[in-house]
Amino acid sequence: MAILEILEYPDQRLRTVAAPVTVVDDRVRAILADMFETMYKAPGIGLAATQVNIHERIITIDVSEDKSEPLVFINPEIQVLPGEEQTMQEGCLSVPGFYEDVTRIEHCLVKAIDKDGNAFEMECTGLLAVCIQHEVDHLNGKLMVDYISPLKRNRIKDKLEKKHKAEARGGKR
């Protein structure tokens, strides 16, 4: 297993639409293992393959407090179920240090493939529903900053670009 580099906004590779996985094999399972290791170390509760510069429709999630409920969604498709919208503060490993209110559906059905290549469906609510929508957005080239005002988005972009330039020079901020 390996810790993968997480792409950070405004990296244009985050805008790449991920391709469907055609076969779930040892290569995909190795990607999953690396993604879980990367996600847990970050630390985060969800990671889309796009965020680690792998442009395939693969997501890892674990919303448990003790990191004991890892979930895999390959080629996920979301269907809205009856319910309300909810606004929650979202953070993102690709937009480090920023948390913004994002409104999403609170109840959805996810159809996907698991790590063994088996199709499954999962009804999601609350934090899990928010997380799966957030990660599927990544697979579609969309980021949480797309849900906020252009002014806030530009401020975040400017701060992260400044951080990236400082890191490139070998310094911190």
Q: Active-site residues: which are they?
A: 135
DSSP state letter for 89: E
Neighbouring C-alpha atoms within 13 Å toward the C-beta of 65: 0
Pick from 94, 36, 92: which is nearest to 69 by CA? 36
E strands of the chain, at which residues?
46-48, 58-61, 71-80, 85-90, 100-105, 107-113, 119-125
CA distance 41 to 44: 8
138 is in an annotated binding site: yes
Q: If you search the block for the tokens 């779930």, which residue do you land on?
A: 24
Structure tokens at 168: 């490139």
Structure tokens at 105: 């559906």
Structure tokens at 8: 């950070």
Residues marked as binding? 92, 134, 138
Residues marked as binding for Fe cation? 92, 134, 138
